[in-house]
Amino acid sequence: MSFRKYLVLAAIVLFGSSGDICLSYAMKQAGPVSATDVPHLLGFVFTPWVAIGTVLLIGFFACYMAALSWADLTYVLPAASLGYVMLALMAQFLLHEQVTLTRWLGILLVSGGVAVVTRGPALTQAQPETEEGD
């Protein structure tokens, strides 16, 4: 796999994690919000942190679509799950959340699975279709 493709996968991890952190920070500042209070909820869409988070998540989505154009979903999705590690680190150090040992163990388990998946090919060849009755 080329360096450019690794950059796209890294961008997926960075944009997704950063966007989620921005949204979480904004909503922690806002306090409790109900999904049924739509006018109040929509008011937060135009706050700076929500706007930045949204732009980052759009970047995540663009990179995710680009990666899916040259790799299998079963390769891209596990690679994107490395964002869990980045997200936990950012939540702990930027949002000052307590990440428990159990959560870290779960994150390490996911990361181990990612390591296994990435050892295979990024794109598998489709099997030729067979005619009925063959």
pLDDT digits (tens, 9 = 90+) for 91-133: 999 999 999 999 999 988 888 887 777 676 666 776 666 666 5
For residue 41, the model assigns a pLDDT of 81
In a domain? residue 129? no
Percent of the chain topping pLDDT 90: 46
Q: How many domains does the chain have?
A: 1
In a domain? residue 38? yes
pLDDT band with cut points at 50, 70 and 90 for residue 3: confident
Collapse the DSSP code of 122 into the 3-class scheme (helix H, G, I; strand E, B; otherwise coil) and give the result. coil
Domain extent at residue 59:
3-117
Segments in the chain forming alpha helices (H) = 3-30, 38-43, 48-70, 73-80, 83-93, 101-117
pLDDT digits (tens, 9 = 90+) for 29-66: 888 888 888 888 888 888 999 999 999 999 999 999 99
Residue 98 DSSP one-character state: -
**Residue 134, pLDDT above cutoff 60:** no
